[in-house]
Amino acid sequence: MANITDVKELTHFIEGKMITGKSGRFSEVFNPATGEVIAKVPLASAEEVKEAIEKAEAAFPAWRDLSVAKRAEIVMKFRHLLTENKEKLIELICTESGKTEEDALGEITRGIESVDLAINAPHLMKGEYSVNVGGQINAYSAKYPLGVVTAISPFNFPIMVPLAQTSMAVAVGNAVILKASERVPMTALFMSELWKEAGLPDGIWTVINGDKEAVNELLENPAVQAVSFVGSTPVAHYIYETSAKYGKRVVALGGGKNNMVVMPDADLEQVANAFISAGYGAASQRCMAISTLMPVGQETADRLVEILKEKIENLKVGAYTDNADYGPVISRQAKENILKAIDRSEEEGAKIVCDGRYKDITKNSNGFFLAPTLLDNVKPGMEIYEEEVFGPVRNIVRVDNLEEAIDLINQHELGNGVTIFTNDGLAARKFTTEIDVGMVGVNVPIPIPVGYHNFAGFKGSRFGDGQMFGPDQANFYTKSKMVSERWLAPSENSGLSFAFPSNK
């Protein structure tokens, strides 16, 4: 494998070329497992973003006019290149995000599902046709790409989320500008090379690295027609409000406070394994990670805590080269914030079952590692219950019955994902019917849909319209035109009428 740690100064990708940043501003890129700076990434100025948008806008008409089948062919070549370069992608993801190899491979696999769906753009762009809707008029609809669109992606999925946000946008004929997370820019730049090799015309795929200055230009520039965002809820709300103010189509997905309800009849050994993998995998840096366990009944809770304690204490935390269960969090600041959240939880009365604060890897590693923490007797109103914590500290909220669990979940401002573990079909049906959450699992630890189903939460987890995965993306990234046509013979006289058109 290439020695990517030698990379010092990264670039943007504009009009088919790696372009050196002009702003003079940079952000450091860390290897979270070592704490070392492995690169510096340029932070684009508003003027640089404007220039990139202009180049994308100029490239758009030719791509729009290319047949959708030809566009799908290029997307298919891109898919083959992703598969051929999995090892390189795994190395990049693990190095700049700290994930394990297994987790990185899983992310790539799920990301390719979005590309697979985009290959079906010829089918998803089909319109409708009706013959003789009245007065020998035929009516049909046709879908057209929007133009220049942008995706703003998070650090926790360097490839899966960008692929989910952009693959369909490219396939249906848009020019796409990806504002990758400045914490994980190398994977996005490597994707750019693959798009180039697949034959995508210059200007149709752009990667701009930057911070709020770059983002604001993307949100405010009139040439950008649609915005897709994945990140924290406060930023999602800002993205939505700003984009809507400037008349753009927008979907902004925010955070989640995802619950796992455990009924007394569930197999607690299975539940424990599911909770640990869904709660602590990727150092809990997933918007669909289970953060709160809700066992129904004190006996269920006591038995489950006993099982979990031993399993969690035996988790191996380390670098992706160490065959670890999970790796570091993304930054030193993130680690410090998580440790403070644990301290406050203890002050608020939570009981610490497993304390990761004082483990050797937490205290003495140069990397941003945190051993797992589990809190019991967490109550609504505590900070750890109300707010999303993007790190390996999970909590237990004890409830007396299923109704209480449903009420608590529905009252929370976030509604991303939720799951129930039970062997009772009636309980599962009640739960799936009454719960006010966008993605629901039954005996499934992470209820994230596959790439050909839609993905989005409710309430504060989602702002705007559209989806991140699924066929609705074809609608989000296109506009529909309705045409009514009639062909009159030369001798026909339709007559003069002031009545509102209707089918008589």
291 and 234 together in one domain: no
171 and 287 together in one domain: no
Is residue 287 annotated as part of the catalytic site, yes or no? yes
- 237: its two tokens: 């709300």
Sheet of 205-207, strand order: 17-19, 12-14, 205-207, 175-179, 148-152, 224-230, 249-253, 462-464
184 and 331 together in one domain: no
Does the residue 409 lie in any domain?
yes
- pLDDT: which is higher, 268 or 472: 268
pLDDT of residue 415: 80
- Looking at the predicted structure, is the pLDDT value of residue 1 above 60? no
How much is the average pLDDT of 385-396? 93
227 and 367 together in one domain: no
pLDDT of residue 41: 97
- Looking at the predicted structure, is the pLDDT value of residue 10 above 60? yes
| Overall domain count for the chain | 2
323 and 230 together in one domain: no
How would residue 142 be classed by pLDDT, with cut points 50, 70 and 90?
Answer: very high
Task: Provide the domain limits for residue 245.
Answer: 4-254+461-482
276 and 188 together in one domain: no
How much is the average pLDDT of 263-285? 95
49 and 88 together in one domain: yes
- Looking at the predicted structure, is the pLDDT value of residue 434 above 90? yes
Does the residue 491 lie in any domain?
no
Contacts of 422-431 with C-beta under 8 Å, sequence gap 24+, read 422/261, 422/262, 422/263, 422/265, 422/266, 423/263, 423/265, 423/266, 423/267, 424/263, 424/265, 427/263, 427/402, 430/402, 430/406, 431/261, 431/402, 431/406
323 and 424 together in one domain: yes
Dump pLDDT digits (tens) for 331-356: 999 999 999 999 999 999 999 999 99
Q: What percent of the chain has pLDDT over 70?
A: 97
- Looking at the predicted structure, is the pLDDT value of residue 4 above 50? no
| CATH number of the structural domain spanning residue 223 | 3.40.605.10
66 and 144 together in one domain: yes
Does the residue 53 lie in any domain?
yes
286 and 194 together in one domain: no
Dump pLDDT digits (tens) for 152-196: 999 999 999 999 999 999 999 999 999 999 999 999 999 999 999
Dump pLDDT digits (tens) for 196-220: 999 999 999 999 999 999 999 999 9
pLDDT of residue 48: 98
Cβ(198)–Cβ(81) under 8 Å? yes
How would residue 3 be classed by pLDDT, with cut points 50, 70 and 90?
Answer: very low
- Looking at the predicted structure, is the pLDDT value of residue 502 above 80? no
> Cα(199)–Cα(191) distance, rounded to whole angstroms?
13
The catalytic position among 118, 287, 353, 406 is 287
* 334 φ/ψ angles, rounded to the nearest 5 degrees: -60, -45
Does the residue 317 lie in any domain?
yes
- Looking at the predicted structure, is the pLDDT value of residue 500 above 90? no
- Looking at the predicted structure, is the pLDDT value of residue 388 above 50? yes
Mean pLDDT of the chain: 93
| CATH number of the structural domain spanning residue 416 | 3.40.309.10
475 and 407 together in one domain: no
Does the residue 35 lie in any domain?
yes
**CB count in 10 Å sphere of residue 216:** 15
- Looking at the predicted structure, is the pLDDT value of residue 22 above 60? yes
* Owner of token pair 């990379």: 7
Does the residue 200 lie in any domain?
yes
Dump pLDDT digits (tens) for 35-77: 999 999 999 999 999 999 999 999 999 999 999 999 999 999 9
pLDDT of residue 460: 78
Does the residue 214 lie in any domain?
yes
- 298: its two tokens: 């004190």
Does the residue 496 lie in any domain?
no
How much is the average pLDDT of 466-491? 87
Q: What percent of the chain has pLDDT over 90?
A: 83
134 and 183 together in one domain: yes
